[in-house]
A and B are shown apart, each in its own frame.
Chain A
């Protein structure tokens, strides 16, 4: 074997190890924390406008609406920060760079669909007199686009993220077609419960693997 073949082999080994690494870096705990935050957010939303329909936020005062939007913005930011910190810690534990190529690829895969979801959210929220049916689109749109992002990111790793992505898309379609006026329930079931279940599954699998 000559130097060039050896170098090609090393690159191949590195590529496969990075791909497998994504499995060990999946932030299970962060998914649980994020899911619990969303469940708390759903409970707080219900407390604010006493309805399972997010469009009822329009009945609140302007200050109430701003507080509602800030609360969900804060939940989103905290969720992302917890995920990034957990992934970075997991990478450090394994002696890897937090910006390992597979983690970057996963992050970049999710970015376009999240940006589209944010743009649509602003489009639905910003009008001077937002329409209730457009507010009702926000949760299903986020479910489907987030699911698309997770599924795409999962293409570079193993099956569980892809299953999570498909579950989000399927639930999003059902929420859009049949349960628009139950956005609080849809958000709690998907971004809340689904994340908690997925996170616990990942944590359990990684502990099993680590114990062997």
Chain B
């Protein structure tokens, strides 16, 4: 049996599935527009808006709102704080997997 990890060890902001998807995409593409992310992750406007606001409030992403002609344009990028949080989250996942694998290897 794998060891359950303490709730405090997991970043609740990133742990949410949609927010994790946003942060994962921004971890490799330095900047994506609202529409690019929406299409890439198959999200609705409302869903992406709500989750990106949560990430912005946490300081994990930077939202830039500009105008292209008369149309509003929103782009997003990962902040240094967001990148650190993402790397920590991935490391936590790795530890959970490693511990689980060790537990499977050790006979009871």
Minimum CB–CB distance for B94 against chain A, Å: 8
Q: Which of B64-108 contact A (CB under 8 A)?
A: 77, 90, 93-94, 96-97, 99-101, 103-104
Q: Report A141-168 CB contacts with B as 1/0, cut-off 8 Å.
A: 0000000000000000111000000000
Contacts A13-B90, A19-B40 given: A3-B24 contact, CB under 8 Å? no
* Residue B41 CB within 8 A of the other chain: yes
Contacts A2-B96, A6-B93, A157-B40 given: A23-B5 contact, CB under 8 Å? no
Partner of A20, one of B2, B29, B103: B29
Minimum CB–CB distance for A137 against chain B, Å: 34
Q: How many residues of B contact A (CB 8 A)?
A: 32
Partner of A17, one of B28, B36, B101, B103: B28
**Interfacial residues, chain A to chain B (CB-CB below 8 A):** 1-4, 6-7, 9-10, 12-13, 16-17, 19-21, 23-24, 94, 157-159, 208-210, 212
Interchain residue pairs with CB less than 8 A apart (19):
A3-B2, A3-B100, A3-B101, A4-B2, A4-B100, A6-B93, A6-B96, A10-B94, A12-B20, A12-B21, A13-B20, A13-B93, A16-B40, A16-B41, A20-B26, A159-B35, A159-B39, A209-B30, A212-B77
